[in-house]
Structure 1
């Protein structure tokens, strides 16, 4: 096995036994495949951020109805409408989409890693060029979505008035918000403010 970069066009057993290149045209095809996978990796990262934004928006609407803003409560003098629930269909769709994107990213990342570990210089350059092109196309949108996600968290969570423990029944010592019960007439449970905040806090503070 080569432990330093080599530049030959002959490539034997690329990832799978029998998948080999013995011509320049074959190597070009493999390089295009690696570049495409590297480009697709950046695209999947962008899709994953978009998927997280959909969940944040859904939870944002839920939290706004559970915890109305102090300004709207004082001006209107009305009670907040019933909380927006996350139905089982929404949960299933979000879960399947999240798992599917995670699975695709993980496997594609491992394939790219194994391709680069062959130490073929042409494959390495293809991976770098494909990833760079993908970042050029999707990088700005990816960062913009992440900033929007943080804005959703700040506007939804930090600006909400979730009630005071001495005024709301069911609160425990040391908690600013009591746990919310299931909404009558629905089969789903509305998350309390702490649970929603904990789930969306990781968007701006990833544990890497």
Structure 2
């Protein structure tokens, strides 16, 4: 009488499985081709079999890792520049500046006029469509950087952090904080 042995391998189980007779069985390799890609769950420094964002983009040599780190560094710097660039564009394209005066009772019973400034932009304008498009790019790039960091590869994580720092250093000095001295709620 023949026994049919069917085994299901769960991704979190070990690579060797024991059947109900106590025999060690090695499951067939799963994944892409003849190798299995396991997601790393702790920080590590390595240059072999590092899958980066896409199934076909696998780093296997130190040279490839250096290239990937340079690309990730530039992507993180671009992200910081994009954030500041969007703020600059928003300030340039603000329209509908209105000054509204409101009567406010004074301390001695007199009526004072207080002025408030309202700034906005039109919803159906080229500037708003550009801001929307740039926002989409910013969100996608931010998720890519998050996923790169989630590889837990120390080299790539350092590249993300260093690129973000470099981008901030390069672009943030243009970020002006404007304080309206007539504004009472800071």
The TM-score with structure 1 as length reference comes to 0.55
Provide the secondary structure at the position in 2 that maps to 1:59: strand
8 Å Cα contact 1:51-1:97 kept in structure 2: no
Q: CA deviation at 1:137?
A: 1.1
**Match of residue 133 from structure 1:** 166
Give 1:55-204 correspondences, 5 Å limit: 55-56=93-94, 58-60=95-97, 63=98, 91-142=124-175, 144=176, 147-148=177-178, 150-151=179-180
Give me the whole-angstrom Cα distance separating, in 1, the residues matched to 2:122 and 2:81.
Answer: 29
Q: Give every structure 1 segment of 4 or more consecutive aligned residues whose post-TM-superposition deviation is greater than 2 Å.
A: none
Provide the secondary structure at the position in 2 that maps to 1:9: coil
* 1:22-74 alpha-carbon deviations (Å, 9 max, x no partner): 11110111101110110001100111111220233x222xx25xx59xxxxxx
- Residues 133 and 87 of structure 1, relative CA distance in 2, 3 Å threshold: closer
- The aligned length equals 129
**Match of residue 65 from structure 2:** 27
Q: What value does the CA root-mean-square deviation take over the aligned residues?
A: 2.5
Q: CA deviation at 1:87?
A: 7.8
Q: CA deviation at 1:11?
A: 3.5
**Match of residue 85 from structure 2:** 47
* 1:119-157 alpha-carbon deviations (Å, 9 max, x no partner): 000000001110110111112222x1xx23x53xx66xx
Provide the secondary structure at the position in 1 that maps to 2:46: coil
Q: CA deviation at 1:3?
A: 1.2
**Match of residue 189 from structure 1:** none
Give me the whole-angstrom Cα distance separating, in 2, the residues matched to 1:87 and 1:53.
Answer: 13
Give me the whole-angstrom Cα distance separating, in 2, the residues matched to 1:139 and 1:24.
Answer: 33
8 Å Cα contact 2:70-2:159 kept in structure 1: yes
- Residues 87 and 59 of structure 1, relative CA distance in 2, 3 Å threshold: closer
Q: Which runs of 5 or more residues in structure 1 are unaligned?
A: 69-85, 160-200
